[in-house]
Amino acid sequence: MILVFDIGNSDITMGLYNHKAWLHVWRIPSVTDRPELYYGIKIRDYFYEAGISVADVEKVVLSSVVPNLTERVINVAKTLFEKSPIVLGPEVYPKLPVKVLNPYEIGSDLVANAVAAHHIFQTNCVIVDFGTALTFTTVSAAGEIIGVAIAPGLKTAIRALSQNTAKLFDVPLEMPESVLGKNTVHAIQAGILIGYKGLVQAITGQIRQELNDPQLVTVATGGLSAVIKTDEGLFTRIEPNLTLDGLRLVASCY
């Protein structure tokens, strides 16, 4: 089995793959002041509850955009699984089937997305990742990451708006039926969620225009990818586990 870790600003997402399918996907909140032992216990408990032996893990792959958590999870993996994780980063990129733009600047999660999307589609594509940040990673048919665009994520935008108003509101991430907000919560949903739908359309449209590719594939991923309605053909496909798929493909390069 392959165990992958996607350490993001909001969550540590863990996926356990049995060479055919994802058996389990678990999430742990990314809390940087928790000790190493905390994460070790949480991970061990997940395996215990699933009835899976830690000895069944053959490879561990890790991507992290949170430096304060990287070393802790590496140490947990070494202790619990007796494996040194493959840490996705500039030292690993030359082994991958994609060419990485600015390897010391791009997030390793975006590289994992690119690896998975290129493996699936083998054509020009843009990956729209709905996480703490909203990212657009464009990969050419030849497997080259040719550009990235970044905007604040949905939760980040709503939190920034609601926390800077005179009254604090708990705004659920639900697409409103109308852009005509009838109350404060509805108004924030209309402005952010419908507005972000337009943002996605605008950026993917401009990428399509700059590449002169009307058949450009658009892939949505990330924990909030299902929030934006897709019934108008905004995305070619929604792949919630795209980052995890990229990481388990990295394991096959070793």
Shortest CA distance to 61 belongs to which of 31, 87, 38?
A: 87
Phi, psi (deg, nearest 5) at residue 122 = 55, 35
* HEC secondary structure over 66-93: CHHHHHHHHHHHHHHHCCCCEECCCCCH
Which residues belong to the active site?
109
Please name the residue ranges forming H helices in 28-177.
36-50, 67-81, 108-121, 154-162
CB 216 within 8 A of CB 208: yes
Burial of 31 (0-12, 13-18, 19+ CB in 10 A): exposed
